[in-house]
Structure 1
Amino acid sequence: MADERPARAPRLPPRWFIRLFWSAHRAVHRVSGRRVGLWRPGASRRRAWGTLRLTTTGRRTGGQRSVIIGYFEDGPNLVSLAMNGWGAGEPAWWLNLRAHPDATVDLVDGRRPVRGYAATGEERSRLWARWREIDTHLDAYAALRPSETTVVVLEPRPGAASDATRGE
């Protein structure tokens, strides 16, 4: 007879731990002279996502704000989730990006100017399915949030050359 126990809701570490982890990640990136902490998405499902450093303009202060987030590549676009550590509310970087869509990303191979927007309709469904391939628990984690998780697309900014393109 098959085990028919109901699926358990995924367990997340305490909020303070999630915040501490990402603060430590940013600190390691900064202290290493930006040589550690960013990586490209790999071919295996285990490492199918990478990390990038996103710099946005603060919606209230106008100052530059940076955060390290996970992403995967979809053609020339970079795709992330505005998930706030799977907690309630939108992450500050997404609120900033909605107010000021032009931003920059630092990748392993250089800086890239981007414009961010929320995927909708078929595009959102397609990109969510790609994230689901990367993380089989995605829907269960998303169910922990009181609102739908935004799929964020960072597309190359028209007319802006990237540092990687210029060789800087």
Structure 2
Amino acid sequence: MKQSISENLPDWIKDHLTRYIESDGEDGHYWDATLGGGEGMITTLLLTTLGRKSAEPLTIPLIYGKAGDGYCVIASKGGAPAHPAWFLNLEANPEVHVQVAADKFKAKARVAVGQEREALWQQMVDSYAPYAQYQAATERRIPVVVLEPL
């Protein structure tokens, strides 16, 4: 799946994506979390979904954690009342493309539930504390998404 940078993204995200893609993950895999209220450098992956309306590939950088043989990401949208577009896209089509540093692969996305969700949520809050603030700011339950390599 081709990686594509949306013109609708904030400039700092477009810059992060451009650096990540052009350097094949060498520059961009680590993100300065102080820019988002966190601490230190944190790892990010690139998630590419197919637009549910446009059918075009859309790529977004996301903080990630390990989840078994795969990875987990948080559909927080900074605590906004609605889910992020990338989450709605993977609900419509769970087959996605993931890049972690230079490693690129196809994956299937699913929403974690129950004990798995709680454990992964806590793992992600431990690595990026603002997630707890995002949850407190919204009535929706923020999804924890597991990306399992195909």
TM-score range, shorter-chain basis? 0.7 to 0.9
SS in 2 for 1:145: coil
SS in 2 for 1:50: strand
Query: What does residue 29 of structure 2 align with?
Result: 38
The answer to whether 1:114 aligns with 2:107 is yes
Task: Provide the C-alpha distance between the structure 1 equivalents of 2:106 and 2:22, rounded to a whole number of angstroms.
Answer: 24
Whose relative contact order is higher, 1 or 2, with alpha carbons under 8 Å and at least 6 apart? 2
Relative to structure 2, which stretch is displaced further, 135-144 or 118-127?
135-144
The answer to whether 1:58 aligns with 2:46 is no
Query: What does residue 122 of structure 2 align with?
Result: 129
The answer to whether 1:86 aligns with 2:95 is no
Relative to structure 2, which stretch is displaced further, 105-114 or 94-103?
105-114
Equivalent pairs counted in the alignment come to 135
Task: Provide the C-alpha distance between the structure 1 equivalents of 2:25 and 2:127, rounded to a whole number of angstroms.
Answer: 26
**Percent of aligned pairs sharing the same letter:** 27
- Gapped runs of 5+ residues in structure 1? 1-17, 158-168
Task: Provide the C-alpha distance between the structure 2 equivalents of 1:100 and 1:77, rounded to a whole number of angstroms.
Answer: 18
Q: How does 1:67-78 map to 2 (within 5 A)?
A: 67-78=60-71
Residues 1:131 and 1:58: Cα distance change in structure 2 (over 3 Å):
same
- Gapped runs of 5+ residues in structure 2? 1-8, 32-38
Q: Which has the larger radius of gyration?
A: 1
Higher strand share: 2
TM-score with structure 1 length normalisation?
A: 0.70
Letter of the aligned partner of 2:18 in structure 1? A
